[in-house]
Structure 1
Amino acid sequence: MTSSALTLWVPNLLTPAHIAEAGGALEGKRFSALETLLAKADKLPKDKTHQISFSDNASYLFHQKSTLPVAPTTAIVDLESFDPSYFWLRVDPVHLIPDRDTLVLIPGEGLGLEDDEAKALVETFNKHFEQDRVELVLGSSLRWFIRILQPVDVQTHSLEAVSYQSIQDAMPEGNAATYWRQLMNEVQMLFFTHPVNEERRSKGLPEINGVWVWGEGQLRTEDIYARQDAVLAGDFAYLKGLAKLSQSNFMNVPDTYPTWQKLMVDNPSSEQMVVLDEAMSDMMQDEWLSLIEQLEENWFAPILSALQNGDIHSLLLDLGMSHRYYLTPNHLKKFWRWKKSIQKYTD
């Protein structure tokens, strides 16, 4: 098997918040392979936007010239009729909870929105805004899109940045912001009396009582760096779109690194990026510790072995901290870099 360059990204795994919350539960727990990889590696500072934005970090890690906008990058995955010449917006269904003088946004994931419910809401939206010539295109139950012939001056906040947060200071900005703010307010009233929400209320389910406009942008060929030699694995639509636009091979993530190695025998690639999303959602302390133990056995230990025997010639780790960690087989010879427990990594 050809020696490879591997990027392993586990968003939010070792954030300072996770480590602080675990507290004494980490005492006495050692993760030998992970500790070795972190100790021997060179620390590379991470831009603050990469610590917050999934799309910024994903584009950077996959060697794109700039961040590819979320709306068109996911629309190319969801829509057969995708046209890159348009300006695209994501308009995602959400649940808004009143909190004093503001609203807190609950993202659609986890709300149990069915396909037929999403279709009914989109149809109502399109009838209401027909005179504005604004039309929603249904990508999936949770990913809706608007395409516009010409770019509009609007700057938005990502859905991840406002999830479970107040939206008061995160509304759209720019010359076209007034229209999109009004649209979002109008949708709240439009959806409130919708039969979908009346039915959900009767069942005790959270309403789909708003939308979040975000991810704006238009794809430009000059911004896309083709990587026919690379393979990208993950479970996010954005990653699949990133691979498609860069002409890379896209794969689902296996359970273990040894399984990944076997897949690479049939799909050889010297440039590999694997994104594990297990730590993206909120986790209880016991779940988080169990996850690290699983990753230690299934990923970190076999990756360390592959690095030792030369199957990996360079490794870049991004585990949700303020630094990335880079190492080659030669880094493992740096005996003066002593291992330390993961609670020490609160940078």
Structure 2
Amino acid sequence: MPAPHHLLIPYAASRAPGAQEALKGLTLPHLDRLLARLSTADASPGEETSLTPPHERALAQALGLGTQDGLIPWAAWHHMQQGQPTGEAPSNAAWAFITPCQWQVTTDHITLHDPARLGLDEAASRELLAIVAPWFAEDGITLHYDQPTRWLASSPLFATLATASLERVQGRDVRAWMPNAREARTLHRLQSEMQMLLYTHPFNDARGAQGLPAVNSFWVHGTGALPAGLTAPAQPPQVADALRAPALREDWRAWASAWATLDAGPVAELLKQAEQGQPVRLTLSGEHSAQSFHTAPLGLVQRIQRFLRPQRFMDVREQL
């Protein structure tokens, strides 16, 4: 039997009052029809305080990366997928993502703002990378440019260092999400050094003259090394992440609009495949948990129950 087409939808539900209100007037006919055809599969329960969001756990499980909280090796996976040369790093090296960012410090909060607000382009990101890379190198951390708001870093330090997903900490107080103080002494010191270095650096003076926010820190995430012998699955899940941005900025009107677009697009396509008898799998994820559904043979009792009470999104969203 061919592998099922797997659609993964992060931020499908939220317990925020604004999201609950937005759902009242939202109709998702294709999603309801799809759920009515599918059986409940495995769940990934969790807490909003976990370092790894449930959609990342679900995706990591499908890719064979493991699901240890805060130690899903996304940076190492990305490095492998890009086919980048490892250079001096062995195939089992530990990697991390380093995201330059702005921390806003007040008397009772240290808030990490959305890195996209920095307006970094490739030239500015590479300039900043050249400024800070020697400081990281002194602690055995090698930085590599990846994209304007994200660099790759290799070091044995990242092999066992659990870190919070950037999505968990964005817009929140970083102090609740910092890595273990004993295991992350080097990173904590580097963050302090970067704040002092960049506070009066000409790089930020030039940005200020252009009306751009200062870059004064960084966030480490996606840490770990790939499991031995890992190979990419022939048909990885399709991640439909249109809900991510509006959910993170709590724009629930835009979130509801994005849901309607998803329902008419990827969800409708998955429904079509299911109606054609193809095996399909759907994973819906909130901030707490993820729940999967799949095509499976039904017994007589199950068919009767499904007919009398079909599964609908409004019934399952509270589980997320």
Does TM, scored on the shorter chain, surpass 0.5?
A: yes
CA distance in 2, matches of 1:150, 1:23: 42
- Range 325-334 or range 85-94, more displaced: 325-334
Equivalent residue runs for 1:68-217 within 5 Å? 68-77=72-81, 80-82=84-86, 83=89, 84-129=91-136, 131-148=138-155, 154-173=161-180, 175-217=182-224
| Paired position in structure 1 for 2:56 | 55
* 8 Å CA contact retained: 2:95, 2:225: yes
Give 3-state SS (helix, strand or coil) of 2:116's partner. Answer: coil
Offset from partner CA, 1:119-178 (integer Å, 9 cap, x none): 111111134455445442222222223322576653332222211111123223264422
Give % identity: 23
Describe the shift of the 1:148–1:286 C-alpha distance in structure 2 as closer, same or farther (beyond 3 A): closer
* 8 Å CA contact retained: 1:96, 1:106: yes
Say yes or no: does 1:345 pair with 2:303. Answer: no
CA distance in 1, matches of 2:133, 2:23: 52
Say yes or no: does 1:15 pair with 2:14. Answer: yes
Question: Paired residues, what number?
Answer: 300
CA distance in 2, matches of 1:153, 1:317: 28
Normalised by the size of structure 1, how large is the TM-score? 0.74
Say yes or no: does 1:324 pair with 2:296. Answer: no
Unaligned runs of 5+ in 2: none
Once superposed, what is the RMSD of the aligned Cα atoms?
A: 3.1
Offset, 1:69: 0.9
* 8 Å CA contact retained: 1:30, 1:341: no
| Paired position in structure 2 for 1:298 | 265
| Paired position in structure 2 for 1:250 | none
Offset from partner CA, 1:43-74 (integer Å, 9 cap, x none): 34323159725532211133545564123122
- Range 291-300 or range 40-49, more displaced: 40-49
Q: Which has the higher contact order (CA 8 A, sep 6+)?
A: 2
CA distance in 2, matches of 1:213, 1:138: 14
* 8 Å CA contact retained: 1:12, 1:319: yes
* 8 Å CA contact retained: 2:76, 2:225: yes
* 8 Å CA contact retained: 1:8, 1:316: yes
* 8 Å CA contact retained: 1:7, 1:317: yes
Unaligned runs of 5+ in 1: 233-272
CA distance in 2, matches of 1:66, 1:52: 11
Describe the shift of the 1:329–1:91 C-alpha distance in structure 2 as closer, same or farther (beyond 3 A): closer
CA distance in 1, matches of 2:224, 2:313: 43
Give 3-state SS (helix, strand or coil) of 2:235's partner. Answer: strand
* 8 Å CA contact retained: 1:162, 1:170: yes
